[in-house]
Amino acid sequence: MEALYEKMDVEKLEIIKKELQERYDCFKKKGLKLDMSRGKPGADQLDLSMGLFDCNTGVKCYTTLDGTDCRNYGIVDGIPEAKKLFADIMEVDASEVIVGGNSSINMMFDTLAYGMTHGMAESYMPWGKLPKVRFLCPSPGYDRHFAICEFFGMEMITIPMKIDGPDMDMVEELAGRDEYIKGIWCVPKYSNPQGITYSDEIVDRLARMKTAARDFKIMWDNAYIVHHLYDEHDNLKNILSTCKEAGNPDRVLMFISTSKITFPGAGVAAMAASENNIKYFKKRLLKQTIGYDKLNQLRHVLFLKDMDNIHAHMEKHAAILRPKFKTVLDILEKELGGKNIAWWSKPRGGYFISLDTMPGCAKKVVEKAAEAGLVVTPAGATFPYGKDPDDRNIRIAPTFPPLHELEKAIELLCICVQLVSVEKVLAARKD
Amino acid sequence: MEALYEKMDVEKLEIIKKELQERYDCFKKKGLKLDMSRGKPGADQLDLSMGLFDCNTGVKCYTTLDGTDCRNYGIVDGIPEAKKLFADIMEVDASEVIVGGNSSINMMFDTLAYGMTHGMAESYMPWGKLPKVRFLCPSPGYDRHFAICEFFGMEMITIPMKIDGPDMDMVEELAGRDEYIKGIWCVPKYSNPQGITYSDEIVDRLARMKTAARDFKIMWDNAYIVHHLYDEHDNLKNILSTCKEAGNPDRVLMFISTSKITFPGAGVAAMAASENNIKYFKKRLLKQTIGYDKLNQLRHVLFLKDMDNIHAHMEKHAAILRPKFKTVLDILEKELGGKNIAWWSKPRGGYFISLDTMPGCAKKVVEKAAEAGLVVTPAGATFPYGKDPDDRNIRIAPTFPPLHELEKAIELLCICVQLVSVEKVLAARKD
């Protein structure tokens, strides 16, 4: 379908361009200074977890139910009650959980570092000794995943995202024939940045597919596992049990953290996997550390309590976030709706709204916004090597700014989208 | 010099053996259950830091001086006030510090992992791509250091410990000619397990020596940097400034933690090195994590305050530990003194007393103690691959048990030493 501007004559386009330019200049004069580049919770969200500090009273605050003094050394894979809580969140058994430090990305990084120096449990040799290691990267996706692959010199293969998950025909075809493909990155629920939740069929196919590599791993970063925005939740099929049923119990490694449940700087992360995998990862862990911060684990158990309480807590987050997401969507609709120059996601959870411009416009939009004082995630960041092949995708992170700043920011972004689109159409006319 | 038992005839020896056996059996009947295997602080020491929990009140508890909200994402290398505090402890500049998570061994592990996948800043290639990587291991030393080398398949070379540090003639000779030797492990102050503090000459020679490898690293685990037992402190020369003066500023990587200052399970670790090195290590860190637990860093700054306060705090630890060390030394002297069958360290700080038996006795002593319910660090653990070439060294960790249990434990250990020694002499006679 033609974009609105493509139906207009040059004269009309020049008028629209002039109007947009005036609005843009007006913003520029205001001297905005806004950073929307990362998916950070706002301070009001952090205040929801101040109760964590009240857990530090009495003996209960440092002793586990089985009597372990959390202040002292010991327990490398997490205190029992934290294992139980994370098992409940991830819908796995406590024996399938390792509770870690404050960062799930650190656990993912360490996992691939292990792969490079030793391989996985099933590997014939360390990945670092292979001529090539390749990773499948559904995109748009999470830039920090791609950065880890790049750091370890892994070759990234972009997999297009469809409406219900990665293009599985392509995934099956590639993973099925290339033994150097060692895994795939997935943010399976309220995905970063599109807010997509994988369908049951995608989960089934990931669990069942034939892989040329016997040590192929699904890196299942379930960062938004309980991060719903509305009463109606997306449902994600349990991939660990699906993998078990498919006869591939060791294929998936699941990761979550409380970063966006409690404190991003001081939460608790965990991984879950088959007992075989847990046993293998503990081999490294036992050499790497004497144990993670058990006091923080216990503090989180005392504060988060159980699933009912976690859902009630997450509803408080949602109450803060809903108006922000609504504001962004309303302004996008008002400014860009029906023009066929931009398309955006309407997620039911997670931390992002994904905005696609006309091809070849995203970089220019981001630059223009930056000139007027609005920093968004760099265009291209959601693709391997920071290169969006169509230069279309922009990640909007609406959570951190207060509402009145968010309004201004998104209006400015929309002006930039329109201005760059008009300029693109005009340039094509002049060719 | 001959051992006492070697001067006795068989008859006398059999009588002594019988007496010792009776004492041993008596202990065995008591059904002791004591674990002295690790250098853990006692609960009374942990109580000294309960004030950490009181730091969690008011806005001050989560905001740095420069206004950063420690609850949220950000700052990968430590909050400014924590950098300053650790810089003061380590006698370096704040720009030469990375503040980490709760475990310094984790930072050391990550350092060698970095070496394996990427090498150090000066490396021609990743260590993992070399035909061999070797590490110098002054021994007796810390088993967790050796375990990291073993995990990464590094070949360990045992360097004998002399009275003031490692045998530097051997270190210089080996490091000077073998380019696959990539580093040396050092616990330079109140060393684990001997309590030795490196002399200025040792520090000078380590800093100055020629190394065949341009990427040779001194892993300077200064775990007991402020852990004095008496008013008179051992002094350790600053190796970073010494390395700078010697023209080798990038040679040393220093590590410490508050594990034995505050809570072993929930303290704060840090590394210090030249700005070049810090820059290089931050490259990995920026991919590995979004940041360590800044709340715990801030909590520690608020609690520990400054060097004067840290020294006053450590004096409280020392007051608890001195009677324990005295008890062990008194019993060792009473049971084993003058017999020339065992030799032990009299440290002025740190966490251990190192006990050497007659050659070939340590394993049997440890086994015998275990049979009677006393677990000590496995014999050999203080050497690479867990193999003490002379089977002599036993690490005594007096800190964890309460005094009355410690007394029993050391008496039992001494009985075992004597019994095994008598048996050894008797066996030699019968040959």
CA-based nearest residue in chain A for residue B146: A287
Residue B346's pLDDT is 97
Residue B187 confidence (pLDDT) above 80: yes
Is there a contact between B104 and B260 (Cβ–Cβ < 8 Å)? no
CA-based nearest residue in chain A for residue B75: A265
A418: left (phi over 0), alpha (psi -120 to 50) or beta: alpha
Residue range A4-46+311-430 forms a domain whose CATH class is alpha beta
Which residues from B are below 8 Å from A49, CB to CB?
A: 71
The three-state secondary structure class of A229 is: coil
Q: Number of CB pairs < 8 Å for A and B?
A: 148
Q: Does B72 touch chain A (CB under 8 A)?
A: yes
- Do the Cβ atoms of A294 and B266 come within 8 Å? yes
The three-state secondary structure class of A85 is: helix
Residue A100's pLDDT is 97
What gap in Å lies between CA A310 and CA B147, rounded to an integer? 40
Which residues from A are below 8 Å from B73, CB to CB?
A: 38, 40, 259, 264-265
Sheet strands side by side (includes A252-257): A97-99, A269-272, A252-257, A217-221, A181-186, A134-139, A155-162, A165-166
Mutate which: A288, A299, A317, A351, vs B, most B CBs within 10 A: A288
Of B175, B129, B171, the residue nearest B153 (C-alpha) = B129
Is there a contact between A166 and A156 (Cβ–Cβ < 8 Å)? no
Residues 6 or more apart whose CB falls under 8 angstroms from that of B204 comprise: B237, B242, B246
CA-based nearest residue in chain B for residue A291: B265
pLDDT by residue for chain A (431 residues), tens only, comes to 688 899 999 999 999 999 999 999 999 999 889 888 889 999 999 999 999 988 877 777 899 999 999 999 999 999 999 999 999 999 999 999 999 999 999 999 999 999 999 999 999 999 999 999 999 999 999 999 999 999 999 999 999 999 999 999 999 999 999 999 999 999 999 999 999 999 999 999 999 999 999 999 999 999 999 999 999 999 999 999 999 999 999 999 999 999 999 999 899 999 999 999 999 999 999 999 999 999 999 999 999 999 999 999 999 999 999 999 999 999 999 999 999 999 999 999 999 999 999 999 999 999 999 999 999 999 999 999 999 999 999 999 999 999 999 999 999 999 999 999 999 999 998 87
What gap in Å lies between CA B97 and CA B294, rounded to an integer? 15
Quick: pLDDT tens for B124-139: 999 999 999 999 999 9
Q: Does B38 touch chain A (CB under 8 A)?
A: yes
Minimal Cβ distance to A287: which of B73, B148, B288: B148
Bridge partners of A376? A36
Looking at domain A63-304, does it have CATH number 3.40.640.10?
A: yes
Residue B354 confidence (pLDDT) above 80: yes
Distances in whole angstroms, Cα of residue B311 to Cα of each of B233, B266, B286, B305, B315: 11, 20, 34, 11, 6
B-contacting residues in A 339-368 (Cβ below 8 Å): none
A-contacting residues in B 295-324 (Cβ below 8 Å): 295-296
Minimal Cβ distance to A102: which of B40, B265, B293: B293
Bridge partners of B253? B219
| Tokens encoding B214 | 């341009």
Instruction: Decide if B4-46+311-430 and B62-304 have a common fold.
Output: no
Alpha-carbon distance A8 to nearest alpha carbon in chain B (angstroms): 46
Quick: pLDDT tens for B283-298: 999 999 999 999 999 9
Rounded to a whole number of angstroms, the CA Rg of chain B reads 23
Bridge partners of B69? B63
Bridge partners of B155? B134
Residue A34's pLDDT is 87
Three-state SS string across chain B, please?
CCCHHHHCCHHHHHHHHHHHHHHHHHHHHHCCCEEECCCCCCHHHHHCCCHHHHCCCCHHHCECCCCCECCCCCCCCCCHHHHHHHHHHHCCCHHHEEECCCCHHHHHHHHHHHHHHHCCCCCCCCHHHCCCCEEEEEECCCHHHHHHHHHCCCEEEEEEEECCEECHHHHHHHHHHCCCEEEEEECCCCCCCCCCCCCHHHHHHHHHCCCCCCCCEEEEECCCCCCECCCCCCCCCCHHHHHHHCCCCCCEEEEEECCCCCCCCCCCEEEECCHHHHHHHHHHHHHHCCCCCHHHHHHHHHHHCCHHHHHHHHHHHHHHHHHHHHHHHHHHHHHHCCCCCEEECCCCECCCEEEEECCCCHHHHHHHHHHCCEEECCCCCCCHHHCCCCCCEEEECCCCCCHHHHHHHHHHHHHHHHHHHHHHHHHHHHC
Strands of A276-345 (E only): list them: 342-344
- Asked if residue A138 has a cis previous peptide bond (ω within 30° of 0), the answer is no
Residue B57 confidence (pLDDT) above 80: no
Say how many C-beta atoms besides its own lie within 10 A of residue B1's C-beta.
5
Mutate which: A35, A38, A54, A102, vs B, most B CBs within 10 A: A102
Of B268, B263, B401, B397, the residue nearest A72 (C-alpha) = B263
Alpha-carbon distance A268 to nearest alpha carbon in chain B (angstroms): 10
Residue A126 amino acid letter: P
Residue B376's pLDDT is 93
- Do the Cβ atoms of A265 and B105 come within 8 Å? no
Alpha-carbon distance B100 to nearest alpha carbon in chain A (angstroms): 11
Residue A287 amino acid letter: K
Quick: pLDDT tens for B68-91: 999 999 999 999 999 999 999 999
Residue B60's pLDDT is 73
Residues 6 or more apart whose CB falls under 8 angstroms from that of A144 comprise: A105, B287, B290
Residue B400 confidence (pLDDT) above 90: yes
Minimal Cβ distance to B40: which of A73, A287, A293: A73
Please tell me whether the overall predicted TM-score, pTM, comes out greater than 0.90 for this model: yes
Of B416, B327, B330, the residue nearest B371 (C-alpha) = B416
Alpha-carbon distance B267 to nearest alpha carbon in chain A (angstroms): 8
What gap in Å lies between CA A162 and CA A190, rounded to an integer? 13
Of B207, B196, B217, the residue nearest B238 (C-alpha) = B207
- Cβ burial of B120 (10 Å; 0-12, 13-18, 19+) is buried
Alpha-carbon distance B128 to nearest alpha carbon in chain A (angstroms): 7
How many residues in chain B? Answer: 431
Which residues from A are below 8 Å from B152, CB to CB?
A: 117
Residue B114's pLDDT is 98
Residue A176's pLDDT is 98
The three-state secondary structure class of A172 is: helix
* Architecture of the domain defined by B62-304: 3-Layer(aba) Sandwich (3.40)
Quick: pLDDT tens for B151-176: 999 999 999 999 999 999 999 999 99
Alpha-carbon distance B103 to nearest alpha carbon in chain A (angstroms): 6
Minimal Cβ distance to A71: which of B110, B151, B266: B266
Q: Does A264 touch chain B (CB under 8 A)?
A: yes
Of A78, A222, A219, the residue nearest B265 (C-alpha) = A78
Residues 6 or more apart whose CB falls under 8 angstroms from that of B264 comprise: A71, A72, A73, A290, B40, B41
What gap in Å lies between CA A63 and CA A232, rounded to an integer? 38
Quick: pLDDT tens for B243-286: 999 999 999 999 999 999 999 989 999 999 999 999 999 999 99
Is there a contact between B139 and B382 (Cβ–Cβ < 8 Å)? yes
| Tokens encoding B30 | 């008591």
What gap in Å lies between CA A46 and CA A48, rounded to an integer? 5
Q: What is the mean pLDDT of chain B?
A: 96
The three-state secondary structure class of A393 is: strand
Is there a contact between B181 and B214 (Cβ–Cβ < 8 Å)? no
The three-state secondary structure class of A158 is: strand
Minimal Cβ distance to A71: which of B46, B109, B113: B46
Say how many C-beta atoms besides its own lie within 10 A of residue A33's C-beta.
9
The answer to whether ipTM exceeds 0.85 is yes
Residue A258's pLDDT is 98
Sequence spans of domains, chain B:
4-46+311-430, 62-304
- Do the Cβ atoms of B69 and A102 come within 8 Å? no
Bridge partners of A72? none
Which residues from A are below 8 Å from B71, CB to CB?
A: 46, 49, 263-266
Q: Does B57 touch chain A (CB under 8 A)?
A: yes
Q: Does A292 touch chain B (CB under 8 A)?
A: yes
Residue B15 amino acid letter: I
Minimal Cβ distance to A296: which of B61, B266, B290: B266
Of A271, A268, A291, A219, the residue nearest A107 (C-alpha) = A271
Q: How far apart are the first and last CA of chain A?
A: 21
Is there a contact between A418 and A377 (Cβ–Cβ < 8 Å)? no
What gap in Å lies between CA B296 and CA B286, rounded to an integer? 20
- Which helix (H) or strand (E) segment holds residue A54: the answer is helix A51-54
- Do the Cβ atoms of B53 and A56 come within 8 Å? yes
Is there a contact between B181 and B211 (Cβ–Cβ < 8 Å)? yes
Mean pLDDT for B376-394 is 96
A384-390 long-range contacts, CB within 8 A, separation 24+:
A384/A137, A384/A139, A384/A146, A384/A149, A384/A150, A384/A156, A384/A157, A384/A158, A385/A146, A385/A150, A385/A156, A386/A143, A386/A146, A388/A140, A388/A362, A389/A158, A390/A359, A390/A360
Alpha-carbon distance B208 to nearest alpha carbon in chain A (angstroms): 31
Minimal Cβ distance to B41: which of A72, A129, A289: A72
Mutate which: B36, B53, B286, vs A, most A CBs within 10 A: B53
Mutate which: A104, A127, A289, A351, vs B, most B CBs within 10 A: A289
